[in-house]
Amino acid sequence: MTKPEEATVVLTTCPDLETAESIAKLLVIERSAACVNIVEKIHSTYRWEDGIESAQETLLIIKTTKQRYGEVETTIQREHPYEVPEIIAIDIKQGAPSYLDWINHSTIKE
């Protein structure tokens, strides 16, 4: 049985749906992630180069394991057009055992 602390959620924002879909598909094909949710049309306000910026972005919610986090980060850094992409991991404290097992099983490289 997979322990909750072995699973993690990674968040990143993309400038458009095409970039988000490309990164999501790569992560799942490579088994770096079990699932990636794509949330379109979020509005972000942020500080960048001494100014306040606003942009419409697409959010990726990436379900993976701590063991695969490095691969997720590497793929995002390689494929992302931003100079400094958001890459944030959030530890999973609790979750349905069957779902956590599915995340683990789906990220095992054969």
Q: CA 104: distance to chain centroid?
A: 15
Q: Which fold has domain 4-106?
A: Alpha-Beta Plaits (3.30.70)
Q: Which residue type, as a one-letter code, is found at position 92?
A: I
- One digit per residue, the tens of pLDDT, for the chain of length 110 reads 667 679 999 999 999 999 999 999 999 999 999 999 999 999 999 999 999 999 999 999 999 999 999 999 999 999 999 999 999 999 999 999 999 999 999 999 87
What local confidence, expressed as pLDDT, does residue 82 receive?
96
Q: What is the pTM of this model?
A: 0.94
What local confidence, expressed as pLDDT, does residue 4 receive?
63
What local confidence, expressed as pLDDT, does residue 5 receive?
73
What local confidence, expressed as pLDDT, does residue 2 receive?
66
Distance (Å, rounded) from C-alpha 35 to C-alpha 1? 19
What local confidence, expressed as pLDDT, does residue 53 receive?
95
